[in-house]
């Protein structure tokens, strides 16, 4: 499920399948700025990339949200982070939330569980909130490293703005 960490994390970042993978951490990566691993974030992140199964099955956006809810349900630390709006799906899909909500509305019946609420840049399920961060950079798509630099920068800006709001 990605790189495990024993230290407490500030946020969980789930990369949608359309996002490039972060570099793996290696000896000295904390000081090497060209190593685009989780140490480039200005916060302690747990980074999760879709499994081969999810990529192979080509999960729809709605299924990605359900998968994240499943991850949250099974991990008490993730529950805490989701309750504090610090579980983030990163995507370059401009219609991610709208597409997920369209599927949800089609499936919705009076007894459908879980109950979901969709916002402009989030989906919530009870006390859990999953932020959806659209990465839409000018140089996006030129190569994986450009995409990662942009993604890291955008997430660092998001984190800095959240800290200043507190």
In a domain, 4, yes or no: no
Residue 28 and residue 34: Cα distance in Å, rounded?
11
pLDDT of amino acid 3: 42
What pLDDT does residue 104 have? 92
Q: Are 39 and 25 in contact (CB under 8 A)?
A: yes
Which domain does 143 fall in, by range?
Answer: 11-165
DSSP state of 143: -
Q: Are 59 and 67 in contact (CB under 8 A)?
A: yes
CA angle 62, 65, 36 (to 5 degrees): 120
**Quick check: is 72 in a domain?**
yes
Any domain includes 5? no
Q: Does any domain span residue 71? A: yes
Residue with tokens 């597409």: 99
pLDDT computed for residue 2 by the predictor? 41
Is residue 106 a part of any domain in this protein? yes
What is the structure's pLDDT at 140? 52
Q: So what's the pLDDT on residue 91?
A: 92
**Alpha carbons 36 and 145: distance in angstroms, whole number:** 8
User: Residue 4: its pLDDT value, please?
Assistant: 44
For position 141, what pLDDT does the model report?
A: 54
Q: Is residue 145 one of the residues assigned to a domain? A: yes
3 is a domain residue:
no
Q: Which two tokens stand for residue 21?
A: 């993978």
pTM: 0.84
How many domains in the chain?
Answer: 1
Distance (Å, rounded) from C-alpha 123 to C-alpha 87? 11
Cα 87 to Cα 9: distance, rounded to the nearest angstrom: 11
3-state secondary structure of 88: strand
Residue 143, pLDDT score: 67
Write out residues in the chain with pLDDT < 70, as ranges: 1-7, 138-144, 163-166
Burial 133-155 (b: 16+ CB within 10 A, else e): bebeeeeeeeeeeebbbbbbebb
Give residue 6's pLDDT. 52
Which of the 8 DSSP states describes residue 25?
P
Hey, what are 155's tokens?
Answer: 């997430």
């Amino acid at each position: 499920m990605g790189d495990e960490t024993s230290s407490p994390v500030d946020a969980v970042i789930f990369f949608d399948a359309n996002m490039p993978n972060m570099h793996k951490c290696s000896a000295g990566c904390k000081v090497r700025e060209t190593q685009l691993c989780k140490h480039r974030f200005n916060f302690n992140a747990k980074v999760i990339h879709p499994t081969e199964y999810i990529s192979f099955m080509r999960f729809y956006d709605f299924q990605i949200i359900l998968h994240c809810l499943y991850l949250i349900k099974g991990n008490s630390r993730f529950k805490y982070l989701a309750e504090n709006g610090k579980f983030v799906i990163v995507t370059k899909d401009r219609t991610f939330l709208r597409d997920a909500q369209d599927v949800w509305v089609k499936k919705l019946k009076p007894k459908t569980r879980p109950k979901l609420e969709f916002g402009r840049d989030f989906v919530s399920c009870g006390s859990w909130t999953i932020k959806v961060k659209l990465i839409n950079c000018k140089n996006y798509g030129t190569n994986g490293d450009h995409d990662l630099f942009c993604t890291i920068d955008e997430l660092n800006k998001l984190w800095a703005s959240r800290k200043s709001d507190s």
